[in-house]
Structure 1
Amino acid sequence: MEIDLFMKLSISAVLGMVIGLERELKRKPVGLKTCLVISIVSCLLTIVSIESAYLFPIKDHITMDPLRLAAQIVSGIGFLGAGVILRRGNDSISGLTTAALIWGAAGIGIAVGAGFYQEALFSVALLIVSVELLPFLTAILGPKQLREKEINLQITVSDMKNITDIINSIKEQNIHIKTIRIKDLDTNYHLIKLKVTVDQKRTTTDIYYSVRTIPSVIRIDIESV
């Protein structure tokens, strides 16, 4: 029984390490150590939950659920996931993939702890393919919307009469405008805030040079979402 226990914990550690390495290589806040801890402890709690259901004597016809502790892992891991989801100043959300992989690491630990080795191995393989390979394929073969990226533009204009011409010039650069916000500044200048979409292959510097050369554009602030 001890050999089986050590084998389960070791397999869970290796699979958790695979998920953690993927996040670590992308410099995400949750990396190798966190995924290892989640996977190993989830596996341990699942083993304890299953073993304790059959270890203690049954009294007054009351039985224990073998996966009672494991069920609490799924809901409890949500607190960790919520901690890595961030909302930036530009209203974009980041950290959802990392939060999902935290939940996945816990699920892998539960599967290994319950003895589903093949399912756990196949699930890790699918997770890595889904996170790494599918975005690359959709960027090449997917529909146009999936081959575009969002960029936030803040353009300072000297003359409000040229705002319409500037917006039209931006559209002529194969830049698709999603939202527009115009604000008057205290310096008699005008600020145009744009959320635009461009081809995924187009560089941020190329967009900067294209917009910066438009007449009446004094200053430009560009951020890739």
Structure 2
Amino acid sequence: MDHQMLLKLGISALLGLIIGLERELKRKPVGLKTSLVISIISCLLTIVSIESSHIFNDGDNITMDPLRLAAQIVSGIGFLGAGVILRKENDSISGLTTAAIIWGAAGIGIAVGAGFYTEAFIGVILLIISVELLPFLITVFGPKQLREKELILQLKLANKHNIVETTASIKEKDITIKNIRIKDLDTGQLYIRMKVSVHQKRPTTEVYYEIQKISGIRSIEIENV
């Protein structure tokens, strides 16, 4: 076997390992093994595609596109990425970053298979910086909107007359109300569902205890978006 091919597969495995380790540490659905498989097989198919174009050529003229198989990898990975994108009950979408990283692992494998080693290493470095270092810098130095996290508050009030006082008390506790939904309950109580934002470093438990102190609230449920 050509040592160059072994080198390419080894490098793609190493870079896939780095990408997968980042996902594994965050306990994401697509972790170490999946990223390794995607990177290695993408590299292998790229090698096969390039080598096949030279083997099955018409004399000195290459009649087959060297990256024909590699082009299909990009579209094929989309089906795998779609499987990790989830819509939660609160209408929030999760898994987009993981889906993008799956696509990125395939791209790294293709780059290595095509012989672009330096570009592949730089790509992995920039990818890790983008998903690890950049979010941290944004939470420290970014604008206020990017330094906040969203929460879903579900409250039950004793009666309708407490709505204005309750929302005013929530705002006084440095909690921004983004939208609100109100529903009458058969028990005579009032159900309120709010999407609010607080500082990124503020513990959810602290928000819970602060709201618990507001009079007129019968029950509280808080969920991170």
Q: What range describes the TM-score normalised by the shorter chain of this pair?
A: over 0.9
Q: In structure 2, what is the equivalent of residue 66 of structure 1? A: 66
Q: How big is each residue's C-alpha offset from its partner over 1:31-64, in whole Å with a ceiling of 9 and x where there is no partner?
A: 00000000000000000000111111318x7710
Q: Distance in 1 between matches of 2:212 and 2:37?
A: 49
What is the TM-score normalised by the length of structure 2?
A: 0.97
Classify the secondary structure of the residue corresponding to 2:90: coil
Q: Does the 8 Å contact 2:184/2:191 carry over to 1?
A: yes
1:5 aligns with 2:5: yes
Q: In structure 2, what is the equivalent of residue 86 of structure 1? A: 86
Classify the secondary structure of the residue corresponding to 1:218: strand
Give the CA deviation at 1:30: 0.4
Q: Distance in 2 between matches of 1:90 and 1:11?
A: 41
Give the CA deviation at 1:124: 0.3
Q: Distance in 2 between matches of 1:206 and 1:220?
A: 13
Q: In structure 1, what is the equivalent of residue 109 of structure 2? A: 109
Write the letter of the residue equivalent to 2:78.
G
Q: Distance in 2 between matches of 1:71 and 1:224?
A: 39
Classify the secondary structure of the residue corresponding to 1:170: helix
Q: How big is each residue's C-alpha offset from its partner over 1:61-105, in whole Å with a ceiling of 9 and x where there is no partner?
A: 771000000000011100000000000000010000000000000
Classify the secondary structure of the residue corresponding to 2:140: helix
Structure 2 unmatched runs, 5+: none
Q: In structure 1, what is the equivalent of residue 157 of structure 2? A: 157
Q: In structure 2, what is the equivalent of residue 123 of structure 1? A: 123
Q: In structure 1, what is the equivalent of residue 146 of structure 2? A: 146
State the superposition RMSD in angstroms.
1.1
Give the CA deviation at 1:201: 1.2
Write the letter of the residue equivalent to 1:141.
F
5 Å-filtered alignment, 1:154-193, equals 154-193=154-193
Write the letter of the residue equivalent to 1:151.
L
Q: Distance in 2 between matches of 1:186 and 1:81?
A: 43
Q: Distance in 1 between matches of 2:197 and 2:144?
A: 11
Q: Distance in 2 between matches of 1:91 and 1:224?
A: 12
1:208 aligns with 2:204: no
Classify the secondary structure of the residue corresponding to 1:77: helix
Q: In structure 2, what is the equivalent of residue 75 of structure 1? A: 75
Q: Distance in 1 between matches of 2:15 and 2:187?
A: 58
Classify the secondary structure of the residue corresponding to 1:30: coil
Classify the secondary structure of the residue corresponding to 1:202: coil
What is the TM-score normalised by the length of structure 1?
A: 0.97
Change (3 A) 1:21 1:62: closer
Percent identity between the two aligned chains = 68
Q: Does the 8 Å contact 2:54/2:62 carry over to 1?
A: no
Q: In structure 2, what is the equivalent of residue 137 of structure 1? A: 137
Q: Does the 8 Å contact 2:53/2:62 carry over to 1?
A: no
1:32 aligns with 2:29: no
Q: How big is each residue's C-alpha offset from its partner over 1:127-178, in whole Å with a ceiling of 9 and x where there is no partner?
A: 0011000000000000000000000000110011011110011011111000
Q: Distance in 1 between matches of 2:57 and 2:153?
A: 67
Q: Distance in 1 between matches of 2:213 and 2:186?
A: 24
In the alignment of these two chains, the number of paired residues is: 224
Q: In structure 2, what is the equivalent of residue 22 of structure 1? A: 22
Structure 1 unmatched runs, 5+: none
Write the letter of the residue equivalent to 2:74.
V
Q: Does the 8 Å contact 2:57/2:64 carry over to 1?
A: no
